[in-house]
Structures are given as C-alpha cells and as structure tokens.
Structure 1
Amino acid sequence: MLSSERACLTYAFDAYCAWCYGFGPVVRAFAEDNAHRIRLSVVSAGLYTGARALPVAAYPHLPAERGTITRLTGVAFGTGYDRAVSRGTTVLDSTDAAAGLAALREQAGISELDAAEALQRAWFVDGRSLSDVEVYRGIAGELGLDVDAVTAAYTSPAGRTQARADFRTVRRLRVLCYPTLLLDTAHGADQLGGAASTAASLTSALDQRLTTPIPQVPIHEMPLRGESS
C-alpha cells in the first residue's frame, strides 16, 4: 500500500450491544492514533431485530453483563441506563437504532464514529430509547447538526432501508459476533483483533496486515448470529 493511500476499515457494531460500548474507547483511541492512514466506516449489525426486538426485561443477563464489561474494560454505565434496565420496559429495537445511525451518518461534518458513540451514550449512559425521535433531535443539537434534517432522515422510510442494507453488509462480510473491526482488502475483509484488544494491539495488527499479503478467501452469505457474549 502506498503511503499516500488510506486503509479502509469497517466497524461492525450495534448501538444496543454492551460489548460494543465497552470496546468504544479502544476503537476511538485506535482511530485517533491512525487517523493519518485509515478511513473508518461504521455499520449496524442488527443485534435486536425481528423476534429479538423485545423489552429489556426479556434479557435478564444484562445486569450481570454490565458488571463484567465494566470490570474488563473500565467503561462506566450511567444511572439512566441502570434505571431503564431496572424498569425493563424499553424495547431494544436495533432497526430503529440503525436507522438513527444512518440519519446521522449522512450529515456533513460528523464522523461515523462520533455518531455511533452518541447513540451509545444515549442508551448506556442516559438510558434513553433509540426508537425515540427526540433522542435524535438531542444528538443532532449536541453535535451541531441540522436538527430538522436529522429527524426527517430518521423518520423517513429510507432510514429503515439503509438499516437493512447495513445488516446485509454485515452478513456479506461474514461477521458472526461484534464488535468486529475489519480491514477492507482487495481479497475481502480481514478481521483485526476482537473485543479484548487494545488500541496498541489493533495498531500492531494493522501494521502487519499492511505489509503482509492477504490470501483470497471467498465470501458467502451467512446468517447473523449476534454478539459473542
């Protein structure tokens, strides 16, 4: 790869995935450390869709998972999130969250990683439903975006169409768990690290990939299975 080129990476995440939230500081540090040589795209994986789009109470493992993620990654969950989990009524709908990411992603002047992190803060810190249009109004204001443009994009059918396109992309890339960070190569997608990686180990893996030829591996459609926990 020539020094003037930037490596393209795809970050498969879900705004409701607690492990993705725990991975957030690592992928942020990695992106900043390598900003001069990478382009990072964020796509939604679709953890809670279809029959899995259920109230929080349907997932009793979440409180224990919260403690494990904090212990392993150091991220802090907000009191708003704790209250939402305790109430158990918020429906986890990843299609709505993916439409929200798509609405933010199409605005000028925002990085896709900033948009993803804003969604994660809304849920894992404030405990706000990512199906609530007011959440996107607030995020747009926080990030200095056109509030009306963001909310119009979120509520339009095109937002759900883009959400489903993200899910298809994740399946095409054979992502079976997330968070997953992929290096886009001429021969397909090559995974870098995992949820337990550090920014330094991801940078080291990127260095190795950029200097080592990647064998061609055929890509086939596979069903999406969700996060690794």
Structure 2
Amino acid sequence: MQNKVLRKGNKGLDVKQLQGLLNQKVPVLKLPRSRKLIEDGDFGNNTDAAVRTFQQQSRLTVDGIVGSKTWTALGVQYVGAPAAPGPGSSSFIQLPQQSGFGYYSYATPAEQYGTAAAIKTLQDVARTFRLNLPNLQIGIGHISLAQGGNFPPHKSHQRGTDIDIRPLRTDGQHQPVRISDTAYSRDYTRLLVEALLAHQNVKKILFNDSQISGVTSYPGHDNHLHVSTKT
C-alpha cells in the first residue's frame, strides 16, 4: 500500500509517522531542537512549515504536500511495500531496509527475506512500538535467505517465519546487548514482547529473561529474541 498523500488539515496515524520522520531530520535541516514537532497526528501549521523546509532543502517542489517524492526523500516511498522477491522465490519478500517506522536492520539485506505476513507483522509491531516509545527502534536481524532452506548456523530460519530481534537497551543504542549487561533494559524489552504477543500472527518467542512473561527459555537466547510467526 502506497503512503497516503498528506497535506495541511489531515489527521491520523500517517501524519504522526510523518512528524516522526521530520523530527529525525531536525539535525540535517539545521533547525534548533525547539523546532521539533509534537507527534500528535495533526497536520497543522508547524507540520506544514517543517514539510516546506524539508522540501526546499531537498530541492523538491515546495508546496507542503507530502506525495511520493517527499516520502522518498524522507527515506521511505511506501508503507509496507517490500522489495521484490528474491531469485528463485515466489513467496519470500525482503524486509525494507529504510522504513523509518521504528526499526533498524543489523543483518545484511540478503539475510532478511520472509513471508509477506511475517514482514507485515514486523512492520505493524515496529510502528506500534514507535508510537509509544518514539526514541527507540527495534533491531531486526536474521529472518531467512531469499530462497529459504538451510541458513547456517541456524537450525530454523528456513521458512521465512522466524525472526531474530535484539533486546532493548537503556541507552537506545543500535548495539548488541545481553540480559546480563548493565545496558539491558528489561522494562523496554517487556514492552516489546507485549507488542509482539498482541499481534495475531505471532506464535511464540524464545528468550532467556525469566522475569518477562510470555517467553520461553532456550539455550543461546540471552542476546536476542527468536520470534516465530504463524504465517
């Protein structure tokens, strides 16, 4: 589904996501921190001004209308639009590498192919998570190879429905963390687990923090959550 064309007067989740993307561009636009937008989903005067400033500095038509070119300049042309299926695969699609909606990738693009339903699940959860914790992003690692099948060193990750996700850190850094590290945030990770389990397509989560409900302990899962989706 292509991003909606947005303009002054619009309201809703798409506007809230737009405001988040614009806020990420504040340093690039050389604006003072005080100019950051309130992410309230209301495309008012401040959001309109921020869009126009971004368009001007991106050498786009300055009209305050957020269409495909402005979305692309912001780093995402489509919401939920995956890359084309990999070679030899008719069903797997690649996790978009620059969504701007609450996640980052810590694996190579070639290691992040999944079913359409699994990819959508990740994007749904990431967007929901970001609305509650806008300063944090979910780290997504291995999913499957483009054609599925054997993916060393994993015994699973063959059908596009297994995803590795990093636990959350207290400092929000895009770095590895183990449950024994002082930088590990149980509270943030618990919120991530709750968001995952609330999604109808999530089947189970393997993770070794026994203080978090809904996860199953399994050897080797101190530094990542192994999320299995139904489809």
Question: Does TM, normalized by the shorter one, top 0.5?
Answer: no
Question: What TM-score, normalized to structure 1?
Answer: 0.31
Question: What TM-score, normalized to structure 2?
Answer: 0.31
Higher Rg of the two aligned structures: 2
**Which of the two has greater helix per residue?**
1
